[in-house]
Amino acid sequence: MERRNFLKNAAISGIALTGITGAMNASASGTATSNAAKFKLKYAPGLGTFKENAGSDPIDNIKFIADQGFRAIFDNGLMGKSPEQQEKIAAELARQGMDLGPFVLYADFSVRSMVLNSEEVRDMLRKKMQDGIEVHKRTGVKYALVVPGRFDEKLHWDYQTANVIQNLRMCCDVIGDSGMKIVIEPLNAHTDHPGLFLTGMPQANLLCVAVNHPVCKIVNDIYHQQITEGNIIPNIDMCWDNIGAFHIGDNPGRKEPTTGEINYKNIFRHIYRKGYDGVLCCEHGNSKPGKEGELSWIQAYREVDSFEV
């Protein structure tokens, strides 16, 4: 290695080490770790991501997350919280000037549902959409996540596709101009969710085009799509008009960026340069345990957010 490159790399490493060591020391002393620098993109840790440093209270978690420079959170279990708790979360996010990422509205991986032409399924979906609208009214959350469920081995694939399109159109009609939107999520069948109908970004894009409703979008889970089809940046571009949100996780392992094979710094730079201002949910685990592991998790996001604009 040339001497100047060695010195440059050593300096960068020293800066990173100094930052995380300072954060760890602050945590060990019982004081909150303050970081005034806001991230370029709205990476959204989940409530409970930093339970070792922030405890279990959702409001304390939001305060800690904001103090680290994050501009959003997500909570897959938002719908299961009481209306009072939902309102408290929304109020604290508003006070902090933060966004709330998609919550899970319907995702039953065990049954065939939206692939069927069934009045029982439609009744269930109508009720889900109405319940989601109430959560939206209380919290202002923009997107609700929907998974079409399992495929039917006894029914031709094209009939199933037509049924999913019709069921999604009905969901969109129920939502109407309420202000809420749904994001459908393709999930990988190789590692995590075998047997599901929706698995790829091209398929999700086809559904959105066929549904042809402004409230039907896609959540692009980069972890799942690396497993399913790869080609991450070109697929983002091909589906761009229909992407409402992103999920993040490295592969293999589904941990924070920098722990696997995905070049998140380049992906985030691409998304940023396209003008994306939505939420990117950090839907993954921690590669290291304890308080130090949580702070290392934050440092990983500092690294991948350090792209040139």
- What local confidence, expressed as pLDDT, does residue 241 receive? 98
Number of domains in the chain: 1
Which burial class, exposed, middle or buried, applies to 100 when counting CB atoms under 10 A from its CB (0-12, 13-18, 19+)? buried
Active site residues: 185, 283
pLDDT tens, 73-107? 999 999 999 999 999 999 999 999 999 999 999 99
Q: Is the pLDDT of residue 12 over 80?
A: no
Question: Which domain does 85 fall in, by range?
Answer: 34-304
Residue 31 confidence (pLDDT) above 70? no
pLDDT at 161: 98
Query: Which pLDDT band, with edges at 50, 70 and 90, does 23 fall under?
Result: very low
Give the per-residue pLDDT at 218: 98
**Sign, Cα dihedral of 293, 253, 249, 183:** negative
Please tell me the predicted confidence (pLDDT) of residue 248: 98
**How much is the average pLDDT of 120-144?**
98
Whether residue 10 is predicted with pLDDT greater than 90 in this model: the reply is no
| pLDDT, average across residues 22-44 | 63
Which tens digits make up the pLDDT trace of 177-201?
A: 999 999 999 999 999 999 999 999 9
Q: Assess if residue 13 is contained within a domain.
A: no
Q: Mean pLDDT over residues 155-168, rounded?
A: 98
Whether residue 239 is contained in a domain is answered as yes
Mean pLDDT, residues 144-169 taken together = 98
The per-residue pLDDT for 35 is 72
pLDDT tier, 60 (very low <50, low <70, confident <90, very high otherwise): very high
Q: Domain for residue 25, yes or no? A: no
Sign of torsion, CA 63 68 70 71? Answer: positive
pLDDT of residue 116: 98
Q: Is 275 part of a structural domain of the chain? A: yes
CATH of the domain at 250: 3.20.20.150
pLDDT for the residue numbered 236: 98
Task: Evaluate if residue 21 carries a pLDDT over 60.
Answer: no
The pLDDT mean for the chain works out to 91
Distance, in Å, from the CA atom of 293 to the CA atom of 159, rounded to the nearest integer, reads: 47
264 neighbors 301 (Cβ within 8 angstroms):
no
* pLDDT, tens only, 236-279: 999 999 999 999 999 999 999 999 999 999 999 999 999 999 99
Instruction: Identify the pLDDT of residue 212.
Output: 98
Task: For residue 10, tell me if it sits in a domain.
Answer: no
Is residue 16 in a domain? no
pLDDT of res. 25: 40
Asked if residue 18 belongs to a domain, the reply is no
- Quickly state the pLDDT bin for 32 (edges 50, 70, 90): very low
Residue 6 pLDDT exceeds 50: no
Taking only the tens place, the pLDDT of each residue in 248-260 is 999 999 999 999 9
**11: in domain:** no
